Structure 1
Amino acid sequence: MTAELTEKDIKTLLDKLPQLKNEIQKVIVGQDHILDELLVAFLAGGHCLLEGVPGLAKTLIVKTMSQALKLSFRRIQFTPDLMPTDIIGTEILEEDHSTGKRFFKFNKGPLFANIVLADEINRTPPKTQSALLEAMQEFEVTYGGQTYPLDKPFFILATQNPIEQAGTYPLPEAQLDRFLLLIKIGYPTDQEEFDILSRTTGTKKADVKAVISAGEIQQAQALVRQVNINEDLVRYVSQIIRATRPDSTTVPYVKEWVRWGAGPRAGQALILTAKARALLKGRYAVLPEDIHAMATPVLRHRILMNFKAEAENITSDRVTEELIKVIERPKTL
């Protein structure tokens, strides 16, 4: 698969991916597809926005994931008074005691970590949101005219509460597009909730072991891009993305419900996440099922619904599900 890794190295690396999920599940009960989507995003080298009501372990999932990944972790609690320098860092005046000369030294902020949890990102003003999103896109920050590269791998997990919207600053669609996936976390099942209550109210604590290093993660991310996808599937992805646009689609309900469709970045995200999912499943080639599985979290924040759809409670998830049904998959697969 790659010049740097032998076949044995690749097998050893891929064997660690299920171990990674098992370590996280020592702490996290259920949420199986949520963990899969997070691991897919991480392998694809993208960032995630997690949406769910309070108390669904969004923060715990991220923290546990960082422990199993042998990576540095920082949490930033976003508040209305948070400034860009609070997350990027700032210059401080220091003195060289041997010469008596004073100089400015850049003091790195919490963004300089491998995994950064941006908790309640919609509670902070656009200026601070923009500073975070610039770092997500460029993998570097600029202060005082000087550029500082961020640690790699670099993974932003932002959370937002979909219920309480008073005093929040919703992310504009252009900024939402920077997130590879929008993952919605729902309530646990009856059995999962019983297990949560049983396991989290006693004295026993799970011991999460780090199973993958930063170097191995970067190797896995490089490996994802080498996963094969044939031209028919690339064209299939293109058809799905283009069908979300009301000005060019032939699908009637898209014209009726959608104000703006997804852009080319959505197609790139869908292909990359499909490749990552295939690798997680132990395959070196993308299948239609990989595209179908990743279409909803890739598109749900990239399709903007119109007023009529909102009035009828039609969501972007529904549009994606309908498109998967009506767009003909490649006959050769």
Structure 2
Amino acid sequence: MALWEALMWNEQGVLRISIAATMVIAALGIVFGILSGSFSIAFDGVYSLADAALTGLALWVSSLIVKSAQNDALSGRIRNRFTMGFWHLEPMVLMLNGCLLMAVSVYALINAIISVLNGGHELHFGVAIAYSATTVVLCTVVAVIAIRMNRRLKSDFISLDIKAWIMSGGIALALLIAFLVGLAVKQTPAAWIANYVDPLVLGLVCLVMIPLPIGTVWKALTEILLMAPVELKEHVDHVASRTVRSLGFLSYRAYVARVGRATQIELYFIVPEGLPPKTVEEWDALRDEIGAAIGDESANRWLTIAFTADAEWAE
């Protein structure tokens, strides 16, 4: 139990467990797909294999972000080499993940359409049903565990991984139902339908899966493009405006963005010329006050606050 808790207590542990389970499903999918003659099962295996590779990439990025925040010698060397951190890699990985999963689904959909037009193919339903039932159980268990852990961790990587598990479980459940129906009609006058079960269910599953990562891809794209989140910009504007009014400054410029788990904020206050001088400690105290008003102080907040009488420095 202690080992299990140690593995699952952080983002990297959850992702490692997910990769291991995904590799098991990928291997089962490819083997059972060949044995049963099912394109949809083989697709499920290939999809899982791609998902495992991308989850491994997410694990690597997550490890880099965590290491860069530590205080040991290795982390110090990493920070000296990558002074801006690794936050920017997170949305890139998420976007790559979503785009690749959609591309795999589109390719499978095209193959399903071709198979239907060619009259379908024969399928060994017993093997296919055994695989689908096993996969439904495994996907459900891993998804439930990841959902429970992410209530505390709140990781975008784990959130996307949960979606992938739900999608994989949905695929397996759809396959299971379709294979049961195909087996039921095989000895009836409608036996001709059995040849179409596999490509039809594959096509339907792909139609459902293709749009699912769109939200993740769009969110990642906004972060890559450094688009300012509306709520964050309004909050920073409120704090900055209140500071300008209370201290008699002329104006301010605010630049905000979210990149992965990081929040980046740059605030420039335009002060009147000839303002009575303050000590460095007094300016630092003012920065602390503004930073506390903005909130969310953590290793993932990148906050810069500057004061200048020359507006060009703030543009």
- What TM-score, normalized to structure 1? 0.21
Greater share of residues in helix = 2
Larger Rg: 2
- What TM-score, normalized to structure 2? 0.22
